[in-house]
Amino acid sequence: MHPNQVAQWKKQALEGLTEIFAGTAEKVSHSREAEIKELHAKIGQLTVERNFLAKASGR
């Protein structure tokens, strides 16, 4: 292998890695946002159920 070819591959890899990991970080961010929304919905549901059961039991 010629050193120039290796240097060119290294340059391409370093340029490409930022794009690859930027996309991954964005996917993780969207995934976490969706999970947070789902958890907030679950918290709301459980709060309503708890309040309903508390009223039903006379507390």
Q: Where are the domains of the chain?
A: 34-59
Residue bearing tokens 């459980």: 46
Residue 59, pLDDT above cutoff 80: no
* Cα→Cα distances 50→13, 37, 47, 53, 55, Å: 54, 20, 5, 5, 9
Q: pTM for the complete prediction? A: 0.52
Residue 2: DSSP 8-state: -
SS3 content of the chain, % helix, strand, coil (to 5): 90, 0, 10
pLDDT tens readout for residues 12-45: 888 777 777 776 667 777 888 899 999 999 999 9
Cα 3–22–25 angle (5° rounding)? 135
